[in-house]
Chain A
């Protein structure tokens, strides 16, 4: 029997979602009837395997020997001193196999697909990082793989298209709508509803219908678990703040989740501010959108007054998405995390700063988190600590950066 104090205690943030996949008013399952039974089968398979020590051991082995985990936590001393405030530590997800955090999730979902007896993998991709990470695990397990990618994004990220094809994936260009990530997601959903018997849909972020937001979070939470242990080994205490970029929000939730119940650790999610929030040309639903329903869940969206989804803009293809994971919507409303936006040009400055000061070329997505660190660190004391999630490496972005600066590579 619970005491009155226990009954009145606020729920732990880590208890969510509830049985129906809700994070407060967000999340849930908003899909056509044909997918309801398949996502329920997926939920059951995942819940079972999550408790299975053999599955966990298999996953841990893959994360160690194939992905290269644990990823280092690196004290960026020179950059910290230059900014003249808090000590900045970088969680080096850029050093994972395939160069970003995306592989943590695709390794997990691919193992699940194999356990469920699915022979065909589909995925959607914006910048191509999740597509590459999906094609990678499909190649390794010998599974057929189809990746949907907006026709516009295929032009912007042609080297990743080639990478996916090298790995044996079929890359299908999506010509509908705005021809970007959201349309790729629509098309992947259409494939899934058609081929649901043999096909596993590896969603790349913490969005989609339940159980995806919780499942992808669980696979990405290895980032935060490692960081929490590493910072205590290196600095002897928990950090004062965490910063991560937020497109769909998988790297951010992966870092935040193991710290959610540490109320003394401030959490900052950084959205793509594009040309600036007040210009309307951005990709910041948490900062400037409102709640709605898209791609299987209720969350903050960029939409017009009639509920039509609007086009987004960010220099970073990985942040160019009009929605965001429902758990972030909940963390925003509950006040546990704060969401801010930095502009394209601020992100570019962050890209150059880290490259020149620490010899690390960051992804443009991650550069948004770095740019916010340059604002936050100087407001803090030198004995305070910030962990920034360096979610991916920037090799894929050098052509974008060069083009932006009028340089021919």
Chain B
């Protein structure tokens, strides 16, 4: 069982939902990232999603685009991101780490070499935004062969037939993009999302995480009633942007935001809800 699968199993038994914070690796500088990862774990993160900076982040809104640009000023490459994961793993062997990024840096390294290096570093899942399942065969096989979960997106436009096909290739969990748009937009319709997640669960057996548009403790809590995991990115990255150059302030603000989300999510779960 992978770390991601084990984590969801533990949470399910405890009647809790996963909180998955996203930060772009190397934002605003490489030294900030690993201590920030530890701070997020302390504040209640269940899984850490680490963005791999890319020059052309087409699926991202302005907040994460700017994060990529800050990281790339320090030449934070995919290899450097793997070094960060390895460094995190020296002190934490429990919390899963998921990489989220675009295909080209992985292609430049080669699928096989990447999968081996990611396993070596202690990566547990890989979400490649611009790699739909139709094109993902080779990379998904390499990842699975190295004990890494390939994570796929579902969206409001994904047909039921596709959901079933994607669920067959995916492992770990499925990442539902809550609206048509880019990361960080403000279009979240919680009721519609809850209904959709219920429908997805009737098709796919994997846990469902919901991301894009979750901005505060209240929306995190409301989404967590329906979803197995809440993914929050731009709302955290905003704090990094505001406090560039002050790593301790960044850690404090991000941790404070996460603690509030964690508390609101835990408070909203029906007691001992084991489904």
Contact = CB atoms under 8 A, between A and B. Distances in A.
Interface of A: 20, 28-38, 176-177, 182-183, 186, 189-190, 193-197, 291-296, 301, 303, 305-310
Contact of A34 (B69, B109, B155): B155
Contacts of B130: 30-32, 293, 296
The 6 closest A-B pairs by CB, nearest first: A307-B108, A307-B105, A306-B77, A33-B153, A34-B155, A37-B157
B159 to A, nearest CB: 6
A36 B158 contact: yes
Given A308-B54, A309-B55, A309-B56, A34 B107 contact: no
Given A190-B60, A194-B182, 6 more contacts: A31-B130, A34-B153, A37-B159, A177-B56, A307-B105, A308-B104
Q: Please classify how large the interface on chain B is, using the bins under 10, 10 to 19, 20 to 34, 35 or more.
A: 35 or more
B129 interface: yes
B35 interface: no
10 contacts: A30-B130, A33-B157, A34-B181, A186-B58, A193-B182, A293-B107, A305-B108, A306-B78, A308-B54, A310-B55
Interface string B104-148: 111111000000000000000000011110110000000000000
Contacts of A33: 132, 152-155, 157-158, 166, 177
B65 to A, nearest CB: 5
Contacts of A189: 58
B185 interface: yes
B103 interface: yes
B253 interface: no
Given A30-B135, A308-B54, A190 B177 contact: no
A369 B56 CA distance: 29
B126 to A, nearest CB: 14
Contacts of A34: 153, 155-157, 177, 180-181
Nearest to A183: B56
B105 A306 contact: yes
B106 A307 contact: yes
Interface of B: 54-62, 65, 69, 72, 75, 77-79, 102-109, 129-132, 134-135, 152-159, 162, 166, 177, 180-182, 185
B65 A293 contact: no
Given A33-B177, A177-B55, A296-B130, A303 B108 contact: yes
Given A176-B65, A293-B103, A308-B72, A190 B108 contact: no
A307 B78 contact: yes
A48 to B, nearest CB: 19
Contacts of A194: 180-182, 185
B12 to A, nearest CB: 25
Given A30-B130, A32-B59, A307 B180 contact: no
B135 A309 contact: no
Contact of B107 (A28, A186, A296, A307): A307
Nearest to B153: A33
A194 B185 CA distance: 9
A193 B109 CA distance: 28
B158 A20 contact: no
Contacts of B177: 32-34
Contacts of A303: 104, 108
A307 B107 CA distance: 7
A306 B77 CA distance: 6
A177 B56 CA distance: 7
A36 B105 contact: no
Nearest to A189: B58
B134 A193 contact: no
B109 A31 contact: no
A186 B180 contact: no
A292 B106 CA distance: 9
> Which of A34, A182, A309 is most buried by chain B, counting CB atoms within 10 A of its CB?
A34
B62 to A, nearest CB: 8
A310 B72 CA distance: 12
Nearest to B109: A307
Contacts of B77: 306, 308
A306 B131 contact: no
Contacts of B155: 32-34
